[in-house]
Structure 1
Amino acid sequence: MINKGMTGAEIAEVIELPPAVVNTWSTHGYYGSVSHNVKAIYQRYMGWFDGNPARLWAHPPQALAERHVAAIGGLDRTVELAQEAYDSGDFRWAATLLDYAVFTDADHAAARSLYADTLEQLGYGSENGTWRNFFLSGATELREGNFGTPLSANSPTIMAQLSPEQMFDAIAITVDGPRAWDFDLALDITFTDLDRSFHVTLRNGVLVYLEREPEDAAALHLRLTKPRLLGMLAGDTSTDGVEVDGDIGVLESLLGVLDPGDPDFDIVVP
């Protein structure tokens, strides 16, 4: 279907699985769905761009929503059309219209209320759990506000299981690039409990690491256990239990540009 010019969304609407698969209860979409996974397969092979030049440089969601709402005739008209779609059972179109509405005015009471009802209906009609949870989470956020992230992926128990490579990768994706653009930092880190050493650099806002023996020319060489480094990343920046050879300011500069992000961002309002 890709070779016929169809996009991921188009393929997801029409693809058919063999009857032997469809009629077997264990292959039903209780966790994922064919529609969801088809789009993921398309994106893996084709990327986000589907070849239509109108979608090559579209406006971002909020700017696009404001333009759609203006073209439709304003917020009240958009909600009116969404109500008509809802009443006719076209919850997908209602959700699209109401997405435009709340991205234009996140506090529009009628849009929020109808959007929550719409997402609830979509949730009730979802066989697979992930879609149902997304729909119902959106409805909850619209009615009650942001409810945060119930689980933490950086708990001490999980972090303790990371390899040094995974730990450095986790650090690298929290670097605030613009704040670190002018940095040219290098340090060696030896994990005394693992007998492994890494050379870490931060240049052009990008953290890179390489496993190798420490060099005398390094501005800073730290000798510590992996749990101790995890403790420093968690906020304990004292040098207790750490052998420091060189300028500790190098580490302080690195830690100073780490941004943990916001795990509790909204999902249905801008």
Structure 2
Amino acid sequence: MALKHVVFADPDNTVAKDLLADSYEQMGYQAESGPWRSIYLMGAFELRNGVPTGGGTVTASSDTIRAMPPELLFNYLGVRLNGEKAAGKKLSLNVNFTDLNQPYELLIENGALEVNPALASDAEATVTLTKPVLDSVQLGETTLEQAIANGDIKVEGRKEALGEFLAMLDNYPFWFNIVTP
């Protein structure tokens, strides 16, 4: 499909974009696979209308967040870790859930996040909280700063370490280009 190369070379070429959108639309109508159909039709939509700018859908309900064990959240944080920002840094945070009786160490080293199911004796800071407080922060019911000010989250040790950790995380936009550069 040569049209995709034309669109990438000249994203303002409306004739090429319209032709490519027409072909994607036809492939979407003929696709037997649901995911392929969605990809083709979303590509056609993007070519005709641009990338949506409105808010996305809620990807995790409050029930899902509340049922999610901390290990899954920490794995997700590992995905969000910006390797370039974390390169050459070593940072150890203890996270202690008082209601779960489960401690964790979050160790950033070699541009990656490692999650250990025990407290580290040499951690730069220890964050103490309950799982419901973490859920409230994740759901936007309260902010991290409010939870710390209220005493729901306690940070002991080098308090700046938590901010440094959070600064290394990327936030991904819900909408992104599929077809256009």
1:162-206 CA distance string (max 9 Å, x none): 211111001111111111213211121111121100111112221
Q: Which has the higher contact order (CA 8 A, sep 6+)?
A: 2
Aligned mate of 1:242, from 129, 153, 157: 153
C-alpha change, 1:250 and 1:209, in structure 2 (3 Å) is same
Q: Hey, what does 2:102 align to over in structure 1?
A: 196
Q: Using structure 1 for the length normalisation, give the TM-score.
A: 0.59
Report the structure, 1 or 2, having the larger strand content. 2
Aligned match of 2:72: 166
Distance 1:173 1:137, change over 3 A: same
Deviations 1:8-43 (A, max 9, x none): xxxxxxxxxxxxxxxxxxxxxxxxxxxxxxxxxxxx
Q: How far 1:215 moved relative to its partner?
A: 4.5
Which residue identity is paired with 1:127? Answer: E
Q: Which amino acid aligns with 1:194?
A: L
Q: 2:99 is paired with a residue of what secondary structure?
A: coil
What is the aligned residue count? 174
2:179 counterpart residue number? 268
| Distance in 2, Cα, partners of 1:154 & 1:174 | 16
Distance (Å, rounded) in 2 between the aligned partners of 1:150 and 1:223: 32
| Equivalent-residue separation in structure 1 for 2:120 and 2:56 (angstroms) | 44
Q: Which runs of 5+ in 1 are unaligned?
A: 1-95
**Alignment pair present for 1:139 and 2:50:** no
The alignment status of 1:108 with 2:19, answered yes or no, reads no
What amino acid sits opposite 1:116 in the alignment? A
Q: Which has the larger radius of gyration?
A: 1
- Match status 1:258 vs 2:166: no
Partner residue, 2:23: 118
SS in 1 for 2:2: helix
Aligned equivalent of 1:222? 127
Aligned residue for 1:252, secondary structure, equals: helix
C-alpha RMSD of matched pairs (Å)? 2.1
TM-score normalised by length of structure 2:
0.85
CA offsets per residue over residues 46-80 of structure 1, 9 Å max, x none? Answer: xxxxxxxxxxxxxxxxxxxxxxxxxxxxxxxxxxx
Q: Which has a greater percent of helix?
A: 1
Query: Which segments of 5 or more consecutive residues in structure 2 lack a partner in the other structure?
Result: none
Q: For the structure 1 residues 231 and 256, does the alpha-carbon distance in structure 2 shift closer, same or farther, using more than 3 Å as the test?
A: farther
Asked if 1:127 is matched to 2:32, the reply is: yes
Corresponding residue of 2:116 = 210
Give the fraction of aligned pairs with identical amino acids, expressed as a percent.
32
Q: Distance in 1 between matches of 2:51 and 2:24?
A: 16
Q: For residues 223 and 161 of structure 1, what CA distance do their matches in structure 2 show?
A: 20
